C-alpha cells in the first residue's frame, strides 16, 4: 500500500496570506528567522490577521539558517509556556523546519532528538496544536512536505526528520513573500527545487500520483528560474508555485543521494567558517549523480523522459542524459553557482580557491561517504552506492571530474 499526503489546505497566489484571518483558535505562536519577514512587513501582517481572527499571538524569532537541535529545544519550551493551539511558521526552510521539530517536542515533551529522527516513527501530533507554514523562499517546499532538516552541530551532520505527521495542516504559498529574495537566494533555492523534482521523478518510490507534479515542476522551473534570478517578478511568482509542486512530489516520492550528499557535506566543514549551502550543494552534485544513476536502465529511461519534456533533443537515452546534464550545468553558470566543491567560496559563489582545502576534504571523505549512505534519502535512490562508489562520487563533486563508474 502506498500513501499520498498533502496539507489539508494550500492557499496560493497573491494575497494568500489573508487566509490567516479565517483561522479558528485561541493562541498562535509565530515562528520566524532573522528579520527578513519583519523588514518586508509580512510579520506584522501575520500578527494583524491572526488578531483579526480573534487569536492571542506570541513571537518566537531569531531561528538561524540551518537550525540547531538547541534552537528546537528552546522553541519547544516557549511553546509549552504559551500553550498555542496554532503554530504558524513563516520564512525560509530553516524557521519552518525548526518549528516542525519544536511541534513534536511540544506535543511530546519526553521526546529526544534521536527519537524524532526515527524515519516514519513519530507518534500522532495535533493533540495540542495545528501547524501552518508560510514559505518565503522558492525552494525547500517544506510548507507541504513531511520533512524537517535539523543540524546537530556537535556532530556536524544534518538529520532529516521524516514523517507524514509533520506535513503541515495548512500551507500558504503567497508569491509576494518571495519578491524580496536576493539573487543568490533565488539561485540556491531554485536549484534545490529542481533537484527535488528530478530526484522525485527517478526515485524508486515514484508513482502515478507524484510523476505529473514532478515533471510539471521541472518544466516550470526550466522556464522561470533564470528569468526570476534576473529580476522578472512574474517568473518569480511562477517559481513559487513550481517549487511547491516539486515539494508535493518529493514529499510522497522521496528523494535520492543528491540530498544524502548535500545533507552530509552541508555542515561537515562548518569549523572552517562556512556551510555548503543546501541548494548550492544540490546544484553541484545533481549532474554527477545523474551520470551515476543513469547506469540503472530504469533511471536512464526516466531521465530521458525528463529531457523530452524539456525539449532538449537527443535520439537515444544516452544522448538525452548527456543533454540533461549539460543543461543543468549551464543553469549553474547562468545562476553563478560553482560546479564543484574545490571552487565553492565561503560566500557560496564560484572562487578560484574554495573554502574547503583538498587535504581536509580527503581526510573527512570516508566518514562523509559513510554518513551519506546512511542518510534517509539514500534508500529511494535508483542505484545503491557502495562505500567506495560514494567516495568516488564525492571526489567527482570535489574536483569536477567525469563520473565513469
Ligand atoms: N523540510 C524540507 O523538506 C527541506 C527540503 C530542502 C531543504 N531543507 C532545509 O531548509 C534549509 C534551507 O532553507 P532555505 O533555502 O529556504 O533558506 P533559509 O530559511 O535557511 O534562509 C536563508 C536566508 O534567507 C533569508 N530569507 C528568507 N526568505 C527571504 C526573503 N523572502 N527575502 C529576503 N531574505 C530572505 C533568511 O533570513 C536567511 O538569512 C536548509 O536547512 C535545508 O537543509 C528542508
Ligand atoms: Zn532540498
| Ligand 1 near 36 CB (within 6 A) | yes
Residue 106 pLDDT greater than 90, yes or no = yes
| Ligand 1 near 159 CB (within 6 A) | no
115-154 residue pLDDT tens? 999 888 999 999 999 999 999 999 999 999 999 999 998 8
Given the C-alpha cell 509549552, which residue does it identify? 80
What ligand has the least distance to the C-alpha of 167? Answer: 1
Between β-strands 157-162 and 147-152, what pairing exists: parallel, antiparallel or unpaired? Answer: antiparallel
* Residue-range domains of the chain with CATH: 9-178 (3.40.50.1970), 183-399 (1.20.1090.10)
* Span 211-238, average pLDDT: 98
Report whether 172 contacts 132 (CB < 8 A). Answer: yes
Residue 182 pLDDT greater than 90, yes or no = yes
167-176 residue pLDDT tens? 999 999 999 9
Atom of ligand 1 nearest to the CA of 266: 43
| Torsion 32-37-38-43 (CA) sign | negative
Radius of gyration of the chain (CA): 20
Q: How far apart are CA 212 and CA 215, in angstroms?
A: 5
Residue 203 neighbours by CB under 8 Å, 6+ apart: 250, 253, 254, 255, 256, 380, 381, 382
Distance between Cα 387 and ligand 2 center (Å) = 23
Report whether 160 contacts 147 (CB < 8 A). Answer: yes
Q: C-alpha cell of 264?
A: 552530509
| Ligand 1 near 147 CB (within 6 A) | yes
Nearest CA to ligand 1 atom 21: 92
Q: What is the pLDDT at residue 256? A: 98
The pTM for the full model equals 0.96
Amino acid at each position: 500500500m502506498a500513501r499520498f499526503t498533502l496539507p489539508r489546505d494550500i492557499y496560493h497566489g497573491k494575497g494568500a496570506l489573508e487566509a490567516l484571518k479565517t483561522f479558528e483558535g485561541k493562541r498562535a505562536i509565530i515562528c520566524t528567522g532573522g528579520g527578513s519577514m519583519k523588514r518586508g512587513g509580512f510579520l506584522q501582517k501575520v500578527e494583524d490577521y491572526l488578531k483579526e481572527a480573534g487569536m492571542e499571538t506570541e513571537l518566537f524569532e531569531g531561528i538561524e539558517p540551518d537550525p540547531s537541535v538547541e534552537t528546537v529545544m528552546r522553541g519547544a519550551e516557549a511553546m509549552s509556556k504559551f500553550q498555542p493551539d496554532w503554530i504558524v511558521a513563516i520564512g525560509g526552510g530553516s524557521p519552518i523546519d525548526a518549528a516542525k521539530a519544536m511541534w513534536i517536542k511540544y506535543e511530546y515533551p519526553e521526546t529526544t532528538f534521536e527519537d524524532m529522527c526515527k524515519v516514519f516513527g513519530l507518534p500522532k501530533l495535533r493533540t495540542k496544536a495545528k501547524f501552518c507554514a508560510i514559505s518565503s523562499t522558492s525552494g525547500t517546499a517544506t510548507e507541504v512536505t513531511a520533512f524537517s532538516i535539523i543540524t546537530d552541530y556537535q556532530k556536524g551532520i544534518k538529520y532529516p526528520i521524516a514523517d507524514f505527521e509533520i506535513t503541515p495542516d495548512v500551507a500558504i504559498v503567497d508569491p509576494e513573500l518571495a519578491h524580496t529574495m536576493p539573487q543568490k537566494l533565488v539561485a540556491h533555492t531554485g536549484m534545490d527545487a529542481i533537484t527535488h523534482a528530478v530526484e522525485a521523478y527517478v526515485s524508486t518510490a515514484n508513482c502515478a500520483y507524484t510523476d505529473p507534479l514532478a515533471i510539471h515542476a521541472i518544466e516550470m522551473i526550466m522556464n522561470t528560474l533564470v528569468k526570476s534570478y534576473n529580476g522578472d517578478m512574474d517568473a518569480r511568482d511562477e517559481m513559487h508555485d513550481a517549487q511547491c509542486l516539486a515539494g508535493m512530489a518529493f514529499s510522497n516520492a522521496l528523494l535520492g543521494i543528491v540530498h544524502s550528499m548535500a545533507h552530509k557535506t552541508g555542515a561537515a566543514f562548518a569549523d572552517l567558517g562556512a556551510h555548503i549551502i543546501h541548494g548550492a550543494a544540490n546544484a553541484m552534485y545533481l549532474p554527477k549523480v545523474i551520470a551515476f544513476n543513469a547506469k540503472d536502465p530504469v533511471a536512464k529511461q526516466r531521465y530521458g523522459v525528463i529531457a523530452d519534456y524539456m525539449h532538449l533533443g537527443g535520439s537515444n537515452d544516452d544522448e538525452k542524459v548527456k543533454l540533461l546534464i549539460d543543461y543543468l550545468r549551464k543553469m549553474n553558470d547562468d545562476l553563478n553557482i560553482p560546479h564543484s566543491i574545490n571552487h565553492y567560496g565561503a560566500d557560496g559563489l564560484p572562487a578560484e580557491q574554495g573554502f574547503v582545502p583538498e587535504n581536509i576534504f580527503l581526510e573527512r571523505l570516508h566518514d562523509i561517504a559513510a554518513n551519506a549512505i546512511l542518510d534517509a534519502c539514500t534508500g529511494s535512490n535508483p542505484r545503491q552506492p557502495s562505500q567506495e562508489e560514494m567516495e568516488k562520487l564525492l571526489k567527482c563533486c570535489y574536483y569536477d571530474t567525469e563520473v565513469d563508474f
